[in-house]
Homo-oligomer: A and B are copies of this chain.
Amino acid sequence: MTMTARPYNFSAGPAALPEEVLQQAAAEMLDWHGSGMSVMEMSHRGREFISIAEAAEADLRELLAVPADFRILFMQGGGLAENAIVPLNLSRGGAADFVVTGAWSQKSAKEAQRYCDAKVAASNAEGGHLSIPAAAGWALRADARYVHLCSNETIHGVEFQTLPDLAALGSTAELVIDCSSHILSRTIDWSRVGLAFAGAQKNIGPAGVTIVIVREDLLGHALAICPSAFDYRLVADNASMYNTPPTYGIYIAGLVFQWIKRQGGVAEMERRAIEKAGLLYGYLDGAGAGFYVNRIDPACRSRMNVPFQLRDESLNADFLKGAQERGLLQLKGHKSVGGMRASIYNAMPLAGVQALVDYLRTFAAARG
């Protein structure tokens, strides 16, 4: 099979996948490892698929150094469903505090109000979600069951560089993190976390798989109104097969985990993320600053999602048209923020970011 160069896809999610993963998936589509079946055709109760699911879980556990007292669940519904599923399982109908740093944490706080006493403990909404409020100023309540934050805001491009130590802040609440858009691009300090969730469609692969990593002792407290399919205790007790799991998505996620391991693991992903983000922000802040702008506080800029604007927004359509012609895809910003957004997840090679910076430079020179 001959292959021409693939374009670079900067979609915020669903997003680019490693070419090696797609090639392997294509090669195995009709016959997985001599089974005579596509992975899509396998019973989730059969030994073939169970081996795939177990390997995916073990590889993810290894990659993120997940401690033995945490369970890894493969679920459905994405981050948006987790906004309900987390309070259904963890709030016990009590208090939960939310740190709002962008659109996603805001949505989470609003949805949780259906199930518990959800309150915003801190927000960066004033000024437009450009920085992270200092943890010392968060209005944490003594009776909060958990504190929710979105550790990387996909739309607003704000990322926590370290997770807060709630105990050091005098809180006994569990920390819940929505890490959908930067999972596997950096390590997670599990000593500070009770539950982490992530929709797979950003930094892992296929939409329709949701990863939940939760400390064992937090299971078993679901509200009576929690649908069985989303009761963490039932999901954990049934090895994520209480209902039929999204089998093909789990298989693809497993291939991505194997690919990350071959690259050198999460440490190597983080090294590359720092390099790629450094290249792009370096240009936007430096030579490109007269033509482009990124307004996020440099202390909390996301390594994964880089929103930026052309100072002359009348050039937006031309910019996007030229990018498309060069094979730089899906750069249009989210409608709520406008401008452009480059999502540079693990699967985006350095060459893709270089090609983007080259184009930014060329376009600015021609139109600036």
- A residues touching B (Cβ–Cβ < 8 Å)? 3, 6-7, 9, 11-17, 19, 22-23, 25-27, 29-31, 36-38, 40-44, 46, 76-81, 83-85, 88, 111, 114-115, 199, 201, 205-209, 224-225, 227-230, 242-249, 252, 327, 329-330
Contact = CB atoms under 8 A, between A and B. Distances in A.
Contacts of A230: 77, 81
Nearest to A245: B207
Copies in the complex: 2
B114 A224 contact: yes
A51 to B, nearest CB: 15
Contacts of A225: 114-115, 225
7 contacts: A15-B41, A29-B29, A40-B206, A76-B77, A77-B230, A78-B229, A208-B208
B43 A246 contact: no
Contacts of A22: 29-30, 38, 40
A17 B40 contact: yes
Given A13-B244, A227-B84, A327 B111 contact: no
B40 A205 contact: yes
Contact of A76 (B11, B36, B76, B228): B76
Given A76-B208, A252-B40, A227 B85 contact: yes
Contacts of A11: 41-43, 46
A254 B296 CA distance: 41
A26 B26 CA distance: 4
Contacts of A249: 208, 246, 248-249
Q: Which of A77, A88, A242 has the most CB of B within 10 A?
A: A77
Contacts of A246: 76, 206-208, 246, 249
B30 A14 contact: no
B12 A199 contact: no
Contacts of A9: 36-37, 41
A41 B77 CA distance: 18
Contact of A7 (B36, B40, B242): B36
Nearest to A1: B30
A59 B96 CA distance: 45
Nearest to A111: B228
Contacts of A16: 37, 41
A15 B79 CA distance: 28
A335 to B, nearest CB: 9
